[in-house]
Amino acid sequence: MSSPSSASPNQQGSVMVQLSSIRKSFDELEVVKGVDLQIGAGEFFSLLGPSGCGKTTLLRMIAGFEAPNEGHISIDGQAMDDVDANERPTNMVFQSYAIFPHLSVGENVAYGLKKQRLAKNVERQRVDEMLKMVDLEGLYSRPSYALSGGQRQRVALARALIMEPKVLLLDEPLSALDKKLREHMQQELRRLQRTLGITFILVTHDQEEALIMSDRIAVMFDGNIEQLGRPQEIYERPVSKRVASFIGVMNFIEGEYIGRKGKQLKVRADALGEVLLEQEQMPTEIEPGQVTIGLRPEMMTVLYHKSDKSEKEFNATVENVDYYGDMTYYTVTLPKSDDQVTISMRNTAGRHVYEIGDKVRIGWGSASMVILV
Amino acid sequence: MKSKAPIALFSFVVTYLIFLYAPIILLPLFAFNDSSIISFPLSGFTSKWFVGLWYEETMHRALKNSLIIAVVSSVISTIFGILTARALARHQYIGKKPIFGLIMAPLFLPEIIIGVSLLIVMIQIGLTLNIWTVIIGHVLIITPFSVSILAAAFNNMDRSLEEASLDLGETRFGTFRRVILPLVTPGIISSLLIGFTISLDEFVIAFFLTGIEPTLPVYIWAQLRFPSKLPGIMALGFILLVLSLVLLALFEFFRRRSEALTSGKPSSEHQ
C-alpha cells in the first residue's frame, strides 16, 4: 500500500517496537482490526487519525494498559505478552497529564525513582537536571495545583523521561494547550527527541502536528493503518480520498482515467482538459474509469500580472476570500463545471489581496496532481 | 440598575433564618440564666448549671454510651462507604443501580419507620437491646452519607492517576498506598466526622433500639419530665450545639480539601 522505502523504519536502524497482527475488541466492538507495524529505534513516530480510529488503544496496548485479543507486541526484541505495564521499558505522557495533586513538582518527577532508593542528593540532582531540560528550573517545591497547563505538561514529560524509557508514549499531549503554546511545545518535543535519541510514539488527531514533528506517520481509520510513510509522502501522495482530505486541505476534481500512453497516464477532467501524469501520481493501481483528482491549494496560483505565465491557466471569479495574515485562501469555480477549488497564496510584499467578485487568472500544472480512489 | 426583587428576597431570607434558628438561641439564653424556671424576664448570669453537669453520674454514663456508639457507627459506615464507592467508581456488575438505590434508601425513609421496624425484627430474632442494636440502626442511616462523600472523592479522582503510577513502575499496592489513600483520606475524615455528628445527635432510632443503656439524646428526653433538671438540660444542649458546629466546620474543611485534591483544581483557600 505504501512505497517500500518507508515500510521499514530506517535504512540502517533497528526495530524498537514490533506489532504483529494486533486485534482488539471491547465487548462486541472491534477497535483495532489487524495492525502490523514496525517502529525504529530513535524514530519520532506518529499515529494519526480521527477520534475512534483505534490509535489510542494501540498506544495503550504498547504501554501495557490493554492486552490485545490477538497478535503480539515486542519492544527491543523482547516479547511483551506476559509483561505488565509497570515492568515495561516504556513511559507515558497522559492526555490529562495525570499529575499527582498531593505532591509537589519535584515529588511528581521523582515518583518513579523511589524504587531505586537513591541517596537524597543524587535523586535531587537528577530531578533538577530533568527540570532544567524541560524548562521548569527552580520549580521543585511548587505544589502541583499551582501550575499552568503548559507547566503541567512539562512536569508529566519530565516525570516520564527521568525513567530513561526505551520508548516514550505520548497520548495527545498538546491538545489542551492554546495555539501559541502548542506550537512552541511541538518544537520543544522535537528538539528533546533529537537530543535524547529515544523512540517517541505520538498519538494525535492534529495532522499539522504530525507533519511537523514526525519522522514517519501512520494514518489510521476504523482500526486499520491506511497509509504509512514520511510526512512528505503522505502529504504529496495520499493513497486515498480519506487520507487526502484528512491531511491539510485538498481540492477534489472529478475526472476520468483514460489509460496509459507509454509510461504516462492519460487523465481528463471537464474543467481542466486532458493531462498526462507520471506513474507515481497514482499511488494505488486502478483500472481506467471515473476517478477523483486531488490538487493541493498551494499548487495553483493566482496570476497577478499580464506577463505572468503558467503551464496551464483559466479565468475565474473570486467567490470567497479567507485572509489569514500570512496567507490568503481564494475560492473559485472551475470553468465548465460546478466544482469549486481553493487556491492559497502567500501574502508577500506588495501582493494584492483580491475581493469577492474580482476576476482573476489562475495558473496550474499537472505535476502536483494525484489520482485518488 | 437595581430592582426591587433583591430587597424583598433579602427580607424573606432574614425572616426565614430567624424563624428557623430563633428557638436555638433560647438554649444559651437559659443555660446561663440564674433561675430554675424557664421563663422571661431573665434573672442574671450564672455558670452553675454547667458546673452541675460535672456531677451528673447518669448523664456521664449516657454520654459514654453515645460516644462509643458514635465512634463505632461512623467507622463501620465509613468502611462500607469506601468499599461501595470504590466498586461504584471502578467496576461494572449486575444490579449496580438497584443495589445503589437500596443503599441510599434509608435517606428517604422516616426514621421512626426505620426505628420501629428494626425493633420488631430484633425482638423477633431474640436480640437484647443494647449499644450494639443502636449501632446497627445508626450504621443503616449513616452509610448513605458515607457512600455519597466517598463516591464523590473516587469519581473526581482522575483514572489516569492510577495508570500513571503503574506506568512509573509502582505496584498495585504501592499505588494504593502512595496515590489513592492520600487522595481519599480527606474524604474518609469527612465521612467519619459527619457519621459521628449524626450518631451523637440522633434520637428517634436510639429511642427505639436502646435498652437499659441510654444514649445522650435519649437521656435528655427522659429528663424533660423533671422541671428542676431543665436548666441543666439547656446547658447540656448548648454544649452539644457548639460541639456539633465545630465538628461540622471541620467536616466542611476536609470536604473542601478532598474536592481540591481529587479534582486537581485549586481550592478557594489556595488561589
The structural domains of chain B, with segments of one domain joined by +, span 62-263
Contact A92 B164 (CB under 8 A): yes
Q: How far is A340 from chain B (nearest CA, A)?
A: 46
Q: Contact at 8 Å (CB) between B153 and B210?
A: no
User: Hey, what CATH class is B62-263 in?
Assistant: mainly alpha
Three-state DSSP at A11 gives: coil
Contact across the interface for B167 and A90, Cβ inside 8 Å: yes
CB A45 within 8 A of CB A60: no
Report the alpha-carbon distance of residue A216 to residue B199 in Å, rounded: 64
Flag whether residue A63 sits within 8 Å of chain B, measured between CB atoms. Answer: yes
Chain A positions in Cβ-Cβ contact with residue B269 (cut-off 8 Å): none
Closest CA to B36 of B218, B215, B178, B226: B226
Would you say residue A91 has pLDDT above 50?
Answer: yes
A312 and A292: one domain? Answer: yes
A161: nearest CA in chain B? B168
Averaged pLDDT for residues B216-242: 87
| Helical H segments across chain A, by residue range | 55-63, 105-110, 120-133, 149-161, 179-196, 207-213, 231-236, 241-246
Sign of the Cα pseudo-torsion (B181, B186, B192, B198, in order): negative
Do A179 and A233 fall within a single domain? yes
Q: What pLDDT was estimated at residue B174?
A: 93
The answer on pLDDT for A307 being more than 90 is no
* Contacts within 8 Å (CB) and 24+ apart, B109-115: B111/B141, B111/B202, B111/B204, B111/B205, B112/B204, B112/B208, B114/B140, B114/B141, B114/B205, B115/B204, B115/B205, B115/B207, B115/B208, B115/B209
pLDDT at A36 over 50: yes
Contact A295, A368 (CB under 8 A): yes
Residue of chain A with shortest Cα separation from B160: A98
Q: Could you tell me which of A119, A345, A373 has the C-alpha nearest to residue A245?
A: A373
Last residue of a domain, one of A222, A242, A262: A242
Q: Say if residue A293's pLDDT is above 70.
A: yes
DSSP notation for A219-246: EEETTEEEEEE-HHHHHHS-SSHHHHHH
At residue A5, the pLDDT reads 42
Cross-strand pairs, A293: A253, A371
State how far the Cα of B25 lies from the Cα of B19, in Å rounded to an integer. Answer: 11
Q: Which residues pair with A254 in a beta bridge?
A: A292
Looking at residue B211, its pLDDT comes to 84
Alpha carbon of B103: minimum distance to chain A alpha carbons (Å): 29
Asked if residue A273 and residue A222 are part of one domain, the reply reads: no
Q: Do A145 and B160 touch (CB under 8 A)?
A: no
Contacts of A98 in chain B (CB under 8 A): 158, 160-161, 163-164
A279 in the same domain as A359: yes
Does the pLDDT of residue A1 top 80, yes or no? Answer: no
Q: A336 and A236 in one domain? A: no
A286 and A175 in a common domain? no
The pTM score is 0.79
B266 has a pLDDT exceeding 60: no
Beta strands A300-303 and A15-26 are unpaired
- For A16-25, A248-257, A302-311, B128-137, which range has the lowest pLDDT when averaged over its residues? A302-311
| pLDDT mean over A92-111 | 94
Q: Do B266 and A146 touch (CB under 8 A)?
A: yes
Q: Is residue A55 very low, low, confident or very high in pLDDT (cuts 50, 70, 90)?
A: very high
**Residues A170 and A289 grouped into a single domain:** no
The domain boundary, picked from A226, A242, A258, lies at: A242
What whole-number percentage of chain A has pLDDT above 90?
60
Cβ within 8 Å, pair B265-A145: yes
Q: What is the mean pLDDT of residues B184-200?
A: 91
- The answer on pLDDT for B257 being more than 90 is no
Contacts (Cβ under 8 Å, ≥6 apart) of A159: A108, A109, A111, A112, B164, B168
Give residue B4's pLDDT.
64
Residues of chain B with C-beta less than 8 angstroms from the C-beta of A86 = 166-171
- The whole-number pLDDT of residue A267 equals 87
- Tell me: pLDDT of A217 over 50: yes
* Closest alpha carbon within chain B to A160: B168
User: What would the grid cell of residue B65 be?
Assistant: 454510651
| Res B264 pLDDT > 60 | no
Category of B24 on φ-ψ map: left (φ > 0), alpha (ψ -120 to 50) or beta: alpha
pLDDT over threshold 90, residue A131 = yes
Domain of A103, CATH number, reads 3.40.50.300
Q: Please, are residues A164 and A113 in contact by the beta-carbon 8 Å criterion?
A: no
Asked if the Cβ–Cβ distance from A111 to B183 is below 8 Å, we say no
- CA distances (Å), origin B168, targets A73, A155, A181, B9, B164: 20, 13, 26, 55, 6
Share of residues in chain B with pLDDT > 70 (%): 94
Q: A271 in helix, strand or coil?
A: coil
What is the pLDDT, as a whole number, of residue A211?
94
Of A195, A218, A242, which residue is a domain's last?
A: A242
Best residue of A88, A100, A164 to probe chain B, by most B CBs closer than 10 Å: A100
State whether A18 and A162 are in the same domain: yes
Is the model more confident about B264 or about A308? A308
Q: How far is A187 from chain B (nearest CA, A)?
A: 25
pLDDT of residue A3: 42
Query: Would you say A255 and A267 are in contact if contact means Cβ atoms under 8 Å apart?
Result: yes
Beta strand pairing status for A29-40 and A44-48? unpaired
pLDDT of residue B262: 67
Q: Using DSSP, state whether A30 is helix, strand or coil.
A: strand
Give the DSSP letter string of B171-240: -HHHHIIIIIHHHHHHHHHHHHHHHHHHHHH--HHHHHH--SS--HHHHHHHHTT-GGGHHHHHHHHHHH
Mean pLDDT of B244-250: 87
* Statement: residue B154 has pLDDT above 60: yes
Domain ranges, residue A345:
249-372
Mean pLDDT over A311-323 rounds to 89
Contact status of A162 with chain B (Cβ, < 8 Å): no
Which of B160, B264, B265 lies nearest to residue A94, judging by beta carbons? B160
Contact between chains at B264 and A86 (C-beta distance less than 8 A): no
CB A346 within 8 A of CB A300: no
Task: Indicate if the pLDDT at residue B270 is higher than 70.
Answer: no
B-contacting residues of A 114-143, CB under 8 Å?
115, 143
CB A34 within 8 A of CB A21: yes
Contacts of B261 in chain A (CB under 8 A): 101-102
**Interface with chain B: mutation pick from A57, A86, A96, A115, highest number of B CBs within 10 Å:** A86
Which pLDDT score, from 0 to 100, does residue B267 have?
Answer: 41
Residue B198 has a pLDDT of 93
**Is a pLDDT exceeding 50 seen at residue A25?**
yes
Whether residue A88 has pLDDT greater than 70: yes
| Average pLDDT score over chain A | 89
The predicted pLDDT at position B1 comes to 53
pLDDT at A285 exceeding the cut of 90: no
Least confident of A192-196, A269-273, B70-74, B140-144: A269-273
Residues A367, A321, single domain; the answer is: yes
Tell whether A113 and A138 lie within a shared domain.
yes
Q: Are A200 and A193 in contact (CB under 8 A)?
A: yes
Minimum mean pLDDT range among A112-121, A272-281, A323-332: A272-281
What is the band of A338 on the pLDDT scale with cuts at 50, 70, 90?
confident
> Taking CB atoms and an 8 Å cutoff, what residues of chain A touch B262?
101
Indicate whether A218 and A151 sit together in one domain: yes
pLDDT at A294 over 70: yes
Mean pLDDT of A19-47: 93
Q: What is the mean pLDDT of residues A18-44?
A: 93
Interface of A with B in 69-108 (CB under 8 A): 84-87, 90-92, 94-96, 98-102
Report pLDDT for A306.
Answer: 81
* Number of separate domains in chain A: 2
A186 plus A275 within the same structural domain:
no
> Mean pLDDT, to the nearest integer, of A257-272?
85
pLDDT at residue A126 above 60? yes
Residue B247: pLDDT band (50, 70, 90) is: confident
Q: Which residues contact B18 (CB under 8 A, 6 or more apart)?
A: none
Q: Please report, for the domain that includes residue A300, its CATH number.
A: 2.40.50.140
